[in-house]
Amino acid sequence: MRAPGFEPFQSVWWAFNTHIHTVYPSKFGSIEKVTVQRIEISTPDDDFLELDVMDMSNGHPIVALFHGLEGSSERFYIRNLMFQLQVEGFSSVALNFRGCGHKINRQRKMYHSGATSDYNVLYNWMKEEYPLRSKYAVGFSLGGNALIKSLGESGENHPIQKAVTVSAPYDLKKGSLNLQHGVNQLYQPYFLKSLKNKAAKKREQYPDVPVFNGKTLYDFDDQITAPLHGFKNADHYYDTCSSGQFISKVKKPLLLIHSKQDTICPLEYAPFEDLETNPYIETIFTEKGGHVGFVGKPKNWLNRSIVEWLKS
């Protein structure tokens, strides 16, 4: 169901294709300054997660934030949303996936699109630290995939009361293969460079970590992600973790924000029948925009829409 009553996204005239919307905020956009406390929390497998906490100490809701592939809590979309939440009186806590913070994590495994066990560690920490506050969540791209999976796994028992995803992938295999075509091929080296560097650091800790000798993200998931996290291969990983299969099982209010022009995670891969029939899900599908990037006039449409929906 389309979310009613929200301002439509109006693209600036010069953002004439999706790639401008995708690249401009990351490379040229401003990042709001937010004062956060960096803390570490322990995981059950003797590892740690790095969190950036912005606590308003006012009893209002606290929002968990999940970044995308090779992102962090310091990415523009996380920091700018934290700022907007602060303006509205919300507290927030941004999770750095394993190895994405200031330190490389201790265990052999790192993170992937379906690592909801680490989400559960964060949710438990939030329940202990803020037992009386409402708890919401927002996930971007890969972080949105795992958020949907988390919501589907726990259904009505999920500790989060409301959630939003932005530009989430719904079919990981199709999305991965999609990056091998057209202009999308330009994004792949950016991700691979960071992933290969991280795998090399992990190999210094664990010499048996496989050596990557592929050329695509599919290859990386097949050679590195899958074996490090207990999957048979890339296809097994994708089949197990793709968010589309969990949409029908979501039992908490969830807003999906996605551009129809997004070429990195195309909206066409979404399970539209499940989106229509699940009464807990609302959608804002814009005619223009990019992947986690919406260069609009007036500015800040994305974060205003997220916060207004959380308040509604």
SS3 305: helix
User: Of 113, 141, 150, 243, which residue is the catalytic one?
Assistant: 141
Active site residue 118: no
Determine the Cα angle at 105 with ends 99 and 111, to 5°: 50
Q: How far apart are CA 89 and CA 52, in angstroms?
A: 17
Q: How far apart are CA 138 and CA 267, in angstroms?
A: 18
Burial class (CB in 10 A: 0-12, 13-18, 19+), 98: buried
Instruction: Answer left, alpha or beta for residue 230, where phi above 0 means left and psi between -120 and 50 means alpha.
Output: left
User: Of 47, 52, 221, 262, which residue is the catalytic one?
Assistant: 262
If you count DSSP H runs as helices and E runs as strands, how many of each does the chain have, helices first?
A: 11, 8
Contact by Cβ (8 Å): 8, 259:
no
Active site residue 235: no
Q: Is the peptide bond before 131 cis (omega within 30 degrees of 0)?
A: no
Contact by Cβ (8 Å): 144, 254:
no
Active site residue 47: no
> Would you state the structure tokens that stand for residue 57, as one six-digit string?
């100490």
Residues noted as catalytic: 141, 262, 291
